[in-house]
Structure 1
């Protein structure tokens, strides 16, 4: 992709994106330019990725064919007000902030823009992200293809309607935290039973990763895969029954529904 990709803000998610694009051969590092508020961040970006850096948000806005707004949601209005007059009609704006709808962003720019709203998650940092992509009516097919190519370089992506982004985004965005709690709980039980902590985390983490891979690659229903592990009168069905008795399934559902409710509240869709 022979286009200039810019990032205003260069936190962990932006780093994951830039690293994935370079490693995946989506674009050359010379085609990436970033701005940040500290010299330390910019020096790290230059030293680690060999990309172009600047303290000037307007410079990034002017030079970018694809511009990622990678700052916190609460400073969107400040950054957009600073750069809105520097954006050409050909610039594609990509947002990655929770709670910022496309309507809100367009209002901040004060005009119709080529816009794609996205929702990546933190596993993007290890090239295993699950990202949601939501194009506006002004985004072109080529815009969508470019953004999908970028996000697929550090994981998987799914195109969704904006009406679903709070729900689906809570699943992929908040879900990792729930999985970490599960991994920690599995490890704690193993440690209590005599397994060393480091080994317990390794066993639990690989088990969760392998189980997820089984679902993705076999395309079997999770219940069938669960049944395949549960031998009659065995250890696994005993543990599964304990989870059902304690309300594990309902607790997970309630946790995600709570996250969805909060996401809708942030987006003003409640």
Structure 2
């Protein structure tokens, strides 16, 4: 959906805000002069204005008055400060999207003076190259249009799905933390290439393309990973020899445990907040 009639404001001009700005502009969903950012770092603000032509602002009251959609794009440690600052400035006229990890919808609602429409989003770092995986949850006040806006915005930086809020901790443990798991495996594969004699730059290039190509293959074909794995695993061949070692090391079980542990920690952080 086009968002030409919406003015979207970002509280915080960090990497995730920049990813969304870039995605919205490249997708043609909104004009640059409809994107407002309030960011205390003047050099960062100047950089965003120069690079994307967006509008920088300084006064919270004027910022809130100008925006119909507001994205809370600050670190979760700043949630209390930001909510206090905007407590009386946001109203039922605003749709507020939060990408603050672990900050629950109830916490957001309790931190504001007036009822607003709230959506909580869990993106991941590949959004920085418009290849992210995001999930969002809404409060009871949010409309179907609000859902469509959230889906359009975060689909501009990858894929986006809607889930119940109680699933967001699992999303955090899976796709939110997932780049860390995959990069560890990537690093290990590169080291494996070096172990068997490849120059490190060659190993890095081959591994990164193998990972990217395999993901594209799985998405393009829609086939189950086990089916695709079977197609590259010849009887008595090299792949099955390598897979045997991975199975002995319980790789699959360890990855599953990692997702479970990260999900558990996400719940703990939410409760601490």
Q: Retained in 1: the 8 A contact 2:132–2:159?
A: yes
Structure-2 residue corresponding to 1:124: 127
Partner of 1:124: helix, strand, or coil? helix
3-state SS of paired residue (1:240): helix
> What is residue 233 of structure 1 aligned with on the other side?
236
Displacement of 1:250 after TM fit? Answer: 1.2
Aligned residues: 269
| In 2, Cα distance between equivalents of 1:110 and 1:172 | 33
Displacement of 1:206 in angstroms is 1.3
Question: Which of 197, 201, 207 pairs up with 1:198?
Answer: 201
Partner of 2:93: 90
Q: Please point out which of 236, 255, 264 is paired with 1:261.
A: 264
Contact conserved, 2:173 with 2:261, CA < 8 A, in 1? Answer: no
* Structure 1: tracts of 5 or more residues without a match: none
Partner of 2:163: 160
Contact residue 169 and residue 263 of structure 2 kept, 8 A = yes
CA displacement, residues 230-266 of structure 1 (integer Å, 9 cap, x when unaligned): 0000000000000000111111111111100100101
Provide the rounded CA distance (Å) in 1 between the counterparts of 2:261 and 2:202: 33
Partner of 1:28: 31
Q: Distance in 2 between matches of 1:24 and 1:194?
A: 44
Q: Which runs of 5+ in 2 are unaligned?
A: none
Alignment correspondent of 1:104? 107
Query: How much does 1:217 deviate?
Result: 2.1
TM-score, with structure 2 as normaliser: 0.95
**Retained in 1: the 8 A contact 2:7–2:35?**
yes
Matched residues in 2 for 1:144 and 1:238: separation? 47
| RMSD, aligned CA | 1.2
Question: Does the 8 Å contact 1:58/1:82 carry over to 2?
Answer: no
Normalised TM-score (structure 1): 0.96
Q: Is the 8 A contact 1:6 1:60 kept in 2?
A: yes
